[in-house]
A and B are shown apart, each in its own frame.
Chain A
Amino acid sequence: MNWRRNFVKISAMFRRQKLADEIDEEVRIHLEMEEQENRERGMAPDEARYAALRRFGNVTQAQEKSLETWGWQWLETLLQDVRYGLRQLRRNPGFTAVAVLTLALGIGANTAIFSVVNGVLLNPLPYPQPNRLVALYSRTAQFSNTSISYPNFIDWVRLNHSFSALAAYRQDDFTLTGVGEPLRVPVEFVSASFFPLLGAKPALGRWFTPQEDQIGGAPVVILSGGFWKRRFGSSPDILGKPITLNGTSYTVVGVLPANFYYSGNDFRLSDVYVPIGQWDDVSFRDRRAAMGMDAVGRLKPGVTFGQARADMDSVGRHLAEQYPEADKDTGISLVPLKQNVVGGIQAYLLVLLAAVGFVLLIACVNVANLMLARATGRSREFAIRIALGAGRRRVIRQVLTESTLLALAGGGLGLLISGWGLSTALRVLPAALPRADSIHLDTHVLLYTLAACLLTGILFGLAPALKMSAEDVQETLKKGGRGATTAHRRTQSAFVIAEVALALVLLAGAGLMIRSLAALWNVDPGFDPHHILAFRTTIPPAKSPDAIRATWRRIQNDLEALPGIQSASLTLGSIPTLGDSELPFWLAGEPRPASTSQMKVSLYYLVQPDYLKVMRIPLERGRFLTSMDTGHSPFVIVIDNRFAQMYFHGRNPIGKRVNIDIINATAEIVGVVGHIKQWGLDENASSNVQAQCYISTYQFPDPFVPLVASNLEIVVRTAGPPLAPVGAIRHALHQADSRAAMSNAESMDDILSDAISSRRFAMILMGVFAALALLMASIGTYGVISYFTSQRTHEIGIRLALGAGKGDVLKMVVGQGLRLALMGVGVGIVGALALTRFLASMLYGVKPADPLTFIAVSLILVAVALAACYIPARRAAKVDPMVALRYE
């Protein structure tokens, strides 16, 4: 068929009536002409008319055939099938409703998870050429990906040949004053190259210049679009205006577009951006220290990721040679930015995608089952159609059209369900997903849903279609369409087994995840997280280290004086699950290692004496820090039992001394406390830094005090609910200093549970899908067993009449269902054993083949199957033998 004809036909579709009228008129004129000719030849009027009609043939057929040439045969047939299918579905509202609802749940779950996968994993990051972006880290003996020291970063920029630009960033908090109430604002220090590298364009003003990105550069800031709108009413006059941050005046030079987005490494979308190169902090400029700074780079055109990695390896080696004290044994690691952003969640999403695939399969099996049961009722209809000359293909097509109609209806409803489910899930669990804002029902998702519908329609329609068209026409007509064939029964039994098996796999997966989470909740974090409130505050810069320490002491006293607060402590350095800080050290009496990287490393917690009381960490030996430990007394530290075990091997560490690098201090160990789970509840004993030590805020050396002075993290133990005293604390801080601001108030319970939010997100969804699977499988089993039972009514009647008891009938029917369920459980266990291995990385404290889980889910399934069989069994047992025998 050529294009011209297609075009002609398409245009004909829109003037079909006119065409039909014209053809009718032509035919009428033809007949008149013939009739007239006949009369002229001397025929009687009636005879002339009949002769004309005879000569013409079948008038209606000629008209129809003429019109038909203007359409597509297949389209006409399809429309016919669709109309017929719709009529069939309307005639069985119960069947249609159950089928559509089942499919809607299956397709809806798939659409929802796919839209998450699409938004998070498939959609490219929102930058030009996003796959050229690479996240960079330092690699040390302890950490494969850790933050970078600024002097090293400057050398990376200088020495590399692979990146057209590299940019560094680190987060901080500043206090904004002079515009309303003092406000803690999130700040991100960024390189001048950061925004241009990402391909962003300023909404207003300009980016930083390289001159501004170095010590002594003019104090300038760029504001986020949201902050500009909230604080300054989107006024374009903001450019060139000063704003006061931490008591210093900064000039606004630019505003970010409102939709700016970046989420690599530890980047935090902030209100204010300042040039990183201006920061002259001692530690920041120390090659041995890394101040939580990360980097991102854009590959030069033509440079591959592998080439860049090799290039940076050689840069790393060069620096290790040049600065052995700082950089020996450290390297540079590269991660594609996309992987960096979504790497943590990818495995969970793929598992969930597989899980919803299973749910959809169960839905398909269920609907196929329903159709098959109905097919038995319709077999007479199909037999008649075949007897009247409909081809086998035509019958299959009719059944597939009906199943696809069902699937499309299910898909439409499924879209609604998934839209609602997604927005609910994202509202409940916002922190669990990176890039959550890029999850939408877009074209990809709609196409996916459409494909799922069509595939589903064919999948569950095919079995009934083949079965129906293959039936022996004569046999069926003789039986009058009653009674299922053995082949039907076998297929339906197989369906039940498949459903139970699929449901078991899902239940096993969900069960393992629930057990993991339960195990995690039972993990002792090493401290008592209940009734702890954590928050941040900034205090205005003070003149001397001693004045700063005095302020710290005053804040603690003020807080502890508040009602409802039992104890309070600053906590700098490390905070469980939120942030880690390490110090390199070597034991007194050992030679000083040649390089920092060869030293031992310990997490450090810079705290006040009440920290132990707030956190309820057990003191195991010696004493904790006290208020008597000051700048005028010997420098002391308290270590945790892991530290003691690793470096003193069971000998008493009290009184031993350690030399601490970076802060250049020698400290005496005065106590040993319990270990806390710094790396989260699922912390792996083999990873990262395990040793922990505590240093008093009052003994931290003078040069480092200003660094920790401005940003204070505080923990308080509360008598009642952790968040209750927030208002009182804010008030007290403000009273002591009108420039103080409070932010990030959160209970320690929430902090811990946030750390396992992706796990929880996956578990909840897995649980929902498993429940859905269980529900569908039980409905499916119920349906098939009831159907089988109703087919056997006659037989049951005979049995009862011959003296079988109700108990025997009950046993027979339940036994039949139980046999199928047990076979399903068997198949399911084999399948689950093969599949749960892929969950291994997501499990905690439980093996993929956990017997308890497998036994529990098997029992659940068997119990549900029994319940599903019991209802039809009871109905069968109540059958009146006389009625049953008269049946059929």
Chain B
Amino acid sequence: MSDEQDMPMGKKLYDNVWLLLAIGIVLPTLIFTVWGLIEIVNLPYLPMVK
């Protein structure tokens, strides 16, 4: 138990494969896909078209 408590944050993080998987999926989805979709949806129509 004391081993568990002394464990550094880095080891805890790298041992948690499911957390790493979640970060690896969620982060690119937000930064590339979601952000890109928001940009496309909010693009205005060419103003000089009458």
- Note whether A and B form a binding pair: no
